[in-house]
Structures are given as structure tokens and as C-alpha cells.
Chains A and B, each alone.
Chain A
Amino acid sequence: MIGYYISLALRSLRGTPILSALMVAAIAVGVGASMTVLTLNYMMSQNALAHKNDVLYAVQLDSWDPNQTFNRGDGGNDIPLQLTYQDATALLRSDIPARQVAMHRYGFTVTLEDSEARPFTAETRVSTRDFFALFDVPFIYGGTWAEDADLSPEQLVVLSKATNDRLFGGADSVGQIVNLNGEPFTVVGVIDNWNPSPKIYDLNNNPFADSEELFIPFGLHRRFEMVSWGNTNGWSAGDNGYEGYEARLFGESVWIQYWVELNSAEQKSQYDEFLTGYIRQQKEQGRFPRPLKFALTPPSEWLVLNDVLEDDNRVLGWVSLAFLLVCVVNAIALLLAKFLRKAPEAGVRRALGASRHAIFMQHLIESMCIGVLGGLFGIVLALIGLSGIRALTLGIADRIASMDWLMMLAAIVLAILASLLAGIYPAWRISRTNPSVYLKSQ
């Protein structure tokens, strides 16, 4: 019967092309507008680490100002989002986590000995060796550096695929030398394409930026007097008697992102204890002036905490759905007009043996056909809307302003739901009308 209803629906739509076009347009415009916004929101809320939600934690310690809380964004928990260098290096000494990563953003000028390749500045991640394993970064060649390199300066580097393509034409470059700021670094690994968006492992700057082009060991700070190229927050210079670069390393500024992998509840409670003990001990030395507070946050909550999907976007999402509802109401009026005009035919069908249910289904499927068409055109409108956003944002939003298959499917589902919503009342009305009224009137 469904096939019969669909063929009737298509015939009926062809019979009133202008009215049909209006209804399809109503659904398409509503779906197009809401899918544009919902796609942005959806892409902004992607969690590349969802599969590790129950083992990965971002670490926060409240080492902040005694006179005021650290506060950033609506979703925040009043604890600094990053750690001080001294706390990060202290935590690295714990062997409770299965894996842990301390890291920050940096940059190097890259040159190649005996090469025509022009020098360029490369986004760099300074990290401990577990970065790749912790965040599931795939390698093409080689692998991460040995543990020593995180403690003492060893000039090793892991290249992104794009960088390796650029410098070595995609060949296995493990063992080759790359000059960073004029210093020779030995390539130990090349990673495959890897670009989580939002960039969940470091949301401090643009959460939708590309991932880094180079990765170097954490043991190189003093060698290059590295500080963060990313977001740094401070409240006190610290008065621990250090001078020069050491003073910057051991100040109270927060600029290190810290993640741990805790594979069991037991490990987690051990680590909780460890952090509590650490903060107590630091308090004895005059640091951590605020009430004892720390947080271990899994990836999905980390996205919320960092306010990646801002409230404005959420509101816009609801507004766009409300707009779709307005379009649906329009479609209801049009469908009602159309169905009631065809009421005599429904009367004849009833006389010939159609039940109310059959009439209801026939008309509901007609509205669903409008929904499917509206959905397809809605996708086209959403793609146009998203390309408009890409054009307006000059590349910043390229990766979030694009539709994947799931969102296209969602558009169709949304359109069908909208058309069902629009069609239920008109279809019900027509199925309830007394057929004899229309049979007489001819």
C-alpha cells in the first residue's frame, strides 16, 4: 500500500505544481536555515576523544590568586585551565597515571641543509612523549622519542604529514636532520593526517585551528628558553628567588596543558589522593593560597568547561528550530487547503472501501514526500548558507562550516519530521470528514 500511496502522492504533487513548490519551499527554507546553524553547532561540539571519555582527564589545580577566583567563560569551574611549569614538572614525577602529557604551543623557523626549500615558521607542540599514544595520533614512520628526551635536552622532532611532504616529499625521513631556529634536530617520527576539530587537547587559542606541524620533547625548555606561544595567564611573578628565564619558569603563570590517562577507578582515586597531597605540600611552602581545589575532567566535559559551543550558538540553534516551526505552520495551512480541495476524492475512496486510516496514511505520505523534497532542497540551501559563512569568515570556520553525511541525513530526518508535523492535522481532518457530504455535492 505504501507504494500506492507514494505514487498517488507524486501524482497529486504534480497536479498542483505551484502549491507543491510553495510547500516544498516552506520546508526547504526552514530546514536549510536550521541545518546551517545546527551543522555549525554540531561541528563545534565534536569530541574527537569521545572513545576515551572514561579514561582521559584534563588536570586543573587551583594555584590562583588568593584575592580572586580564576574565571573564564560561563562553563568554567573557577580553576585555571592550565598549570604552571613547576606544577606540571612535579606532576610528571607521579607514576600513577598509565600515561600523562604536559605540553604547550610554540613555534620554530624551519630550514633544511642543502635545500632549496624556503624557511618557514612552523606551529610546534612541545610535549612529553605520551602525547601520541594518549590522543591516538597515528604514525606513518618511526614513533615518539624516548623518555630521556622529556627530562634532558635532546634535539628530536616528530613531523606532521604535511611537513614531511613539504620537506622530504613524503619519504621516510626518520634519521634525517631538520634545522629548527638554526639548530639541528633529528627526525624520529612522522605522523599521519590528524586534525581533531575542535582541537580538544588544547582549546586555549582557536579551538578550530589545525593541529601542529612539529612536535618536540619537553626537555628542551632551557635549551631554547621556551615559553608558551599560546594563552598564558598570571597573577603573581612569584618570589622564589629565581632570575631570568628560570624566574619565568618558576613563576605562578599558567601555560602548560596537562592530561592524564587513568584506567581504573582505583587509579583515579589514587591520583586524587596524590593531587591532594601535592597541593597540601605546596601550601606548606606558601603556594596555593586558595582553598584546596583541583579537577580531573573527561574530554566531553572539557569541551563544555572551555565554552567551545558558546551560549549564543545554542540560542541560535533554538531560534533556527523556531523558524522551522514557523515554516511548518505555513506548510500546515497550505496542506490543509490542498487536502480539503481534494476532499471529494477522499469521499469517493471511502465509498470504494478505504478506511479512515487508509485516507489518513495516504495524505500523511503525501506530506512526507513534500518533506523529503523539502529536505533535499534544504540541504542545498544549508550548503549555500555554510559556504556563505566560510566566505564571510575568511577560512577561520572552514572546517566547522561543512556538512558531513550524518548532517545530511539529519537534514532529511528533520525535514520528514517537520512534514509529518505539518501533515498530521490536515491528514487527520481529511480522514475524519464525512464522505457522504462530498459524494452528494458532485
Chain B
Amino acid sequence: MLNMHNIRKSYRTDTVETHALRDFSLSVDEGEFVSVTGPSGSGKTTFLNIAGLLETPTGGEYHLDGQEVSGLSDRERSRLRNEKIGFIFQGFNLIPDLNLFDNIDVPLRYRGFDSKERKRRIEKSLEQVGLSARVKHLPAQLSGGQQQRVAIARALAGEPRFLLADEPTGNLDSLMARQVMELLELINQAGTTIVMVTHDPDLARRAHRNIQIVDGQVSDLRNTIGAEEAAVA
């Protein structure tokens, strides 16, 4: 499904060069639920952005669904992102002046569905996250947990094979966090591959597999949760 080999990513500003990822190799299989942990600044978000084709790696190979994607044009990458990938962010990133319907509509517009199909999918995905009644609401009229569920609905509306979540519960209290986690588990059970960055060891443990990123590299794949707990403590 996702196959990264020796991925490098460095950011160059005027004075310093930051190696956000180096010799980063990882495989994620179809249907897996992988949690990603690691200290702040270790490169977790960078990894997700590269995985989601939002950023291009400085070097290395990246196969998504068997396709080498490093050399693709922006248009092709955007199309792949639109069709195969759903993003969920810590900050929800709903568009504030669009109501729920129009927010979820965004990826479907770029997909080129007709209005009937878009409406069907929007209603279906809102139902999936239990917010059908709020379709005309603006994001600001919802709680944080509800907003994140809308963001999940938006990510799901395009029926992506692959869901990338960057600290999806980071801004939520533990109850709401658990609800969101349960929702993600349901989605995973329905067949969607999920990679989730989190700082919460309990949530990380609920995934099929946990990987830890330290200093831009995947560190030891076993006992990583213990290490994370040690780091947090």
C-alpha cells in the first residue's frame, strides 16, 4: 500500500538546513492501522505530508499503491491525493465560512462528481459521523469533537483507501478523543488503511502497530510505546 525507502527531506532556510527525515524507510500494508509516535520535531508531520503527497521528498523512493509518485506532476499528485488519501488534522482545518455541507463538498468538487453524487456522499458521510442534523451549521457552531468528526466525514466522503491523521485528538478532551478514536477504528474495520500520529500512548497502543520516529528516522519497531512513555515522563 505505502512503501517508503530511504526517504530524505531537508528544509533549507537562509542559515540552517534541517534534516526533517533521513533514510526513512517504512511499509504500511492494506487495511493496517498504524500509529506514529515520537518526540516533537522528530519528523512525524513531515512524514505524513510526504505520504499524503503534500510535500515532495528531497530524495528516496515512495511507492503509493504500487506507483512511484516522486516524479509525478502537481496535477497528478493532486488527483491521487484527492482520490486515494484523506487528511485529518489536529486543528480540524474546516473552512470557517462554509457550512458542513459545503466543507465536505470541497474534495468532491475537485473530484468532479455531479451534484447528485456529491449530495449523496455528503449525506452519507455526515451520517457516518452522526452529524446529519447539523448540515447547515457553520464549523464555529460546533464543539471541537464535532468539528473533528466533520473533518473525518470530509476525509471519508471521497472514499479514500488511505487516511492520514495528524494528532486528530490533540485538541480534544479524553472523552471526545475516545469517541474519535472509536470512529477511526470503525473506519479501519471497514477497510480503510489508517496512519495516525499521536502523542497519546493509550491511543497509540490501540493501533495494530506502532512506529516511533526519532530524529527523522524510524526507530526500533518493538517496545516503542514504553520508550514513548519514558520520553513523555
Contacts and interface: CB of A to CB of B under 8 A. Distances in A.
Interface of A: 1, 4, 11-12, 15, 344-345, 347-358, 434-436, 439-442
B54 A435 contact: yes
Interface stretch (B31-39, B75-83, B120-128, B180-188): B75-83
A439 B55 CA distance: 12
B2 interface: no
B95 A345 contact: yes
Interface residues of B, number: 31
Nearest to A442: B91
Given A357-B74, A357-B75, A351 B91 contact: no
Given A11-B97, A353-B79, 7 more contacts: A350-B78, A355-B77, A355-B110, A358-B78, A436-B49, A436-B55, A439-B54
B93 A355 contact: no
Contacts of B52: 351
Nearest to B80: A353
A15 B81 CA distance: 29
Interface string B104-118: 001101111000000
Given A350-B78, A354-B110, A356-B74, A442 B89 contact: yes
B93 A1 contact: no
B97 A358 contact: no
Contact of A355 (B78, B92, B95, B98): B78
B89 A352 contact: no
B53 to A, nearest CB: 10
A344 B93 contact: yes
A439 B88 CA distance: 10
B75 A442 contact: no
B149 interface: no
Contacts of B82: 352-354
B162 interface: no
Contacts of B74: 355-357
Interface in B41-81: 45, 49, 52, 54-55, 74-75, 77-79, 81
B8 interface: no
A68 to B, nearest CB: 71
A182 B98 CA distance: 82
Contact of B78 (A348, A353, A434): A353
B55 A351 contact: no
B22 interface: no
B101 interface: no
B154 interface: yes
Nearest to B49: A436
A436 B54 contact: yes
A230 to B, nearest CB: 67
Nearest to B89: A439
Contacts of B90: 442
B59 to A, nearest CB: 18
A439 B109 CA distance: 20
Contact of B79 (A347, A355, A441): A355
B168 interface: no
Nearest to B171: A442
B184 to A, nearest CB: 18
Most buried by B among A1, A15, A353, A434: A353
A434 to B, nearest CB: 7
A143 to B, nearest CB: 65
A16 to B, nearest CB: 10
A354 B93 contact: no
6 contacts: A348-B93, A349-B95, A351-B52, A354-B110, A355-B74, A442-B93
A440 B111 contact: no
